[in-house]
């Protein structure tokens, strides 16, 4: 099990150098989403398949991820119903960090969100965001992927 420390931001406009970066298609479905914030999801990223369990949290959350086979993913996917998210993820180097820019498609088309992971909370507090980042939404539950899958786009 690992601990994830990340901040999340809305994106005002896509950076110009994005065209030089190859994105990875991600499709994920949610098998279980608790009111308290715990979640179980399956994910296809390119030709790799995973099941992930995360607990509740804003800046810091525990997660466990295991590899699964395509056959298991295909068997579990119908259990997700419409609780799904489709996006293209771009990994953009930024100083000593990597920005994960998610450009959503499907039912969430038009939404763009960037996440940055940190080694500890102190490092996260000293992060200077690039000019193309918009409002921080780390603490807003409505921008978590599981809530986008269950409730759709926030107003």
Q: Domain of 146?
A: 2-151
The confidence score (pLDDT) of residue 79 equals 97
Q: What is the pTM of this model?
A: 0.88
Q: So what's the pLDDT on residue 58?
A: 59
DSSP element (H, E) containing 43: strand 39-45
Q: Which residues contact 62 (CB under 8 A, 6 or more apart)?
A: 1, 2, 3, 4, 54, 55
Based on the structure, what is the number of domains in the chain?
1
The end-to-end CA distance of the chain, in Å, is 34
According to the model, what pLDDT value does residue 57 have?
A: 64
From the candidates 30, 49, 90, 143, which is the catalytic residue? Answer: 30
CATH number of the domain where residue 140 is located: 2.40.320.10
Query: Per-residue pLDDT tens for 123-135?
Result: 999 999 999 999 9
Those residues with Cβ within 8 angstroms of residue 152's Cβ, 6 or more apart along the chain or in another chain: 107, 108
The pLDDT of residue 112: 96
pLDDT of residue 117: 94
Residue 78 has pLDDT above 90, yes or no: yes
49 is catalytic: no
């Amino acid at each position: 099990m690992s601990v994830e420390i990340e901040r999340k931001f809305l994106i005002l406009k896509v950076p110009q150098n994005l065209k030089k970066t190859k994105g990875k298609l991600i499709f994920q479905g949610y098998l279980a989403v608790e009111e308290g914030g715990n979640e179980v999801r399956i994910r296809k990223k390119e030709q790799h398949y995973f099941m992930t369990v995360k607990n509740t949290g804003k800046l810091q959350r525990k997660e466990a991820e295991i590899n699964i086979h395509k056959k298991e993913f295909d068997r579990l996917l119908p259990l997700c119903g419409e609780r799904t998210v489709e996006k293209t993820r771009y990994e953009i180097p930024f100083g000593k960090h990597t920005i994960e820019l998610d450009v959503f498609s499907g039912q969430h088309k038009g939404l763009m969100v960037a996440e940055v992971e940190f080694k500890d909370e102190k490092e996260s507090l000293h992060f200077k965001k690039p000019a193309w980042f918009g409002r921080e939404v780390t603490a807003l539950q409505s921008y978590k992927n599981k809530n986008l899958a269950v409730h759709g786009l926030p107003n």
